[in-house]
Chains A and B, each alone.
Chain A
Amino acid sequence: MSLVSLNEGEKVYIIHGVEENFRCDGRSRQDYRPLELEMDIVSNANGSARLRLANSDILVCVKVEIDTPLPETPNDGKIEYFVDCSANATPTFEGRGGEQLAAELSRFLSLAHCPVFNLSKLCIVSGQSCWKLFVDVLILECGGNLFDAVSLAAKAALCNTSLPNIVGTYEDGKNIDLQISDDPFDTKPLDARDLPVLVSLCKIGNNYVADPTIEEEICGAGCIVISVTPKGKVSAVLKKGAGSFMPDTLNEIIMSGSQIGVLLNKALEETITKDMSSNVCKQRFGFLK
């Protein structure tokens, strides 16, 4: 995926470090690198967030549109995920290079969110019209552990999303015309607090580490990505890489992943609450800081 390559000595050093529970940057096996979050940074989107995890930089933007629901689910809205790997992140993303990773990310994100996200909240008129959410993820820099970073940013952006209020409907025969409030601040927030986040655990030697760096991802035999809701429920699991896992190890990894996920959700929740409470005269920083 990236241009990083390691020689045997560096690999041995990393593997021994994981065994000793002391990684190259001083973290223990379960620690995350410091994360930085900024919400509501794209002014013409309905919700947006930027997340920085060490060198990984993710920008997520949510747009809403009015659409007709599918005939089989007349009371449900729609949600669509799209991931774009910018060639700024690594030169390997140039051209169609990032497409496979992008497809994997967007597919797994929708798989993880789908059992938890209540789409009936997006219904406007049953069988006639509903909201459709477009979640666009842009990967601007790649410093390892993309799955966790993308899911955290996507959840933050969805929590930041608000749907415009509908002030009136006009029936015109079979068609229904919706009138949306002119005031851009006349909105109601979308409740996305119970969405899951993804936790990647990379198996290195006989141990597994949370929040792997690119170097650690190269050393690892395989990586398990677990999607965990704030209550600790596991909604999806994915294995990356060529390595294999024993059933016992897999169970152990999923258990410990769900514990980490609860804490990760809690940390995100607290940050989002803090952001909401300091909403008055907020300054946007973006990428300049």
Chain B
Amino acid sequence: MNISISLASKKTRHGILKPTSNPPVIFTPGEKIRDEAGFMRGHGTYVSAGSLKATVAGVEQNINRLVTVSPLRCRYNGEIGDVVIGRITELVHKRWKVDLNARLDAVLLLTSIQLPGGELRRRGMEDEQSMRNYLSEGDLISAEVHSIFADGSLSLHMRSLKYGKLGQGVLIKVQSSLIKRSKNHFHNLTVGISIILGNNGYIWIEPTSNDNKDLVGLEDEFEQVVDIGDRQTISRVRNVILALSYYKMLIYDTSIQFALEESKKYTVSDLLTAEACYDIANLTRHRLQIMDE
């Protein structure tokens, strides 16, 4: 039995910025960024009394003369081609509604999944009636953003073998801005664990399966028990990612790998404590910094 109650006054929450670097200037809503003359108004800004002001709390980003403010915390704004993890919330006429932590639920059309057997054909009435056999409410999927509707909601597709329904594993949620956009969001870590870093801030951790999945991955396999070794690694990866996200560090394969290596001296349950989180985030930042130089 492990019970620890600490005092808030003993807690240390250090920032882990580079000691040499200048901290970024954070604008609050309504704060003046610069005079309007010679600049264009981008996302997150508005014009008032001849000057550009921020509508969100965030940092300024300039592309030539375009001024935008990108918010520090926001819901997920999709872009075409993003890999996302989502949860089915509803089944409606020929489509599934998917929660992506965006402002609106995304849709997954019946025509944008591959049916079992890999056959390509028109989807008829029977397919529509058996939609719940493929994906039902609460199921987790990995998918790709196919297009963006006029109202900002997303349309997804799963027409590739790497996407599909997710089975046994752990889902964690972080800020979507912490996920680094990269070529590949599916990673097999050297410790025998696969992770999918959804651009929407949902991260899926599962044991790497050796046997090839069936073509569409819409089947369930619940008899299989994840063995204790994999389970420990999954929990370790989970706690490490949460530690990185607590200290607002970018999450991508290298940072996770470094953090995992630094976490070796702690047991998995020790990684829940604030001291261990700080230590790992700090050491990881240090190693990333050395790698950059």
A residues at B contact (CB < 8 Å): 5-10, 12-13, 16-17, 20, 22-28, 30-38, 50, 52, 54, 152, 210, 259-260, 263-264, 267-268, 270-271, 274-275, 278, 282-283, 285, 289
Q: How many residues of B contact A (CB 8 A)?
A: 41
Residues of B within 8 A of A34 (CB): 4, 6, 272-274
Are the C-beta atoms of B1 and A13 separated by less than 8 Å?
no
> Interface 1/0s, chain B 234-266, versus A by CB < 8 A?
111011000000000000000000000000000
Residue of B nearest to A259 (CB): B1
- Contact B1–A263 (Cβ < 8 Å): yes
Is the Cβ of B271 less than 8 Å from the Cβ of A38?
no
Answer whether residue B158 sits at the interface, using C-beta atoms and an 8 A cutoff. no
Q: For B89, give the chain A residue with the smallest CB separation.
A: A5
Give 9 pairs: A residue, B residue, CB < 8 Å, sorted on A.
A6-B138, A7-B139, A9-B166, A31-B269, A32-B3, A34-B273, A259-B1, A260-B1, A275-B7
Are A25 and B168 within 8 A (Cβ)?
A: no
| In the complex, residue of chain B having the shortest beta-carbon distance to the beta carbon of A282 | B9
B: residues with CB less than 8 A from A are: 1-9, 11, 13, 87, 137-140, 166-171, 220, 222, 225-226, 228, 231-232, 234-236, 238-239, 267-269, 271-274
Q: Which of B87, B228, B269 has the most CB of A within 10 A?
A: B269
Cβ contact within 8 Å between A264 and B168: no
CB contacts (< 8 Å) of B137 on chain A: these are 5
Question: How far, in angstroms, from A17 to B207 measured CA to CA in the complex?
Answer: 14
A267 near B3 (CB under 8 angstroms)? yes
B11 close to A26 (CB less than 8 A) = no
Query: What is the minimal beta-carbon distance from B217 to any residue of chain A, in angstroms?
Result: 12
CA separation between A200 and B6, bound complex, in Å?
20
Q: Is the CB of B2 within 8 A of A271?
A: no
B140–A9 CB distance below 8 A: yes
- For A24, the chain B residues whose CB sits under 8 A away are 170, 234-235, 238
What's the Cα separation between A138 and B221 when bound, in Å?
42
- Identify which of B140, B228, B267 contacts A20 (C-beta below 8 A): B228
A35 in contact with B232 (CB, 8 Å): no
Contact of B239 among A8, A25, A264 (CB under 8 A): A25
Could you tell me if A31 and B1 are in contact, using CB atoms closer than 8 angstroms? yes
A257 to B: closest C-beta gap in Å: 11
Contact A13/B226 with A31-B1, A35-B4, A37-B7 known, Cβ cut-off 8 Å: yes
Contacting residue for B231 out of A22, A30, A35, A285, CB 8 A = A22
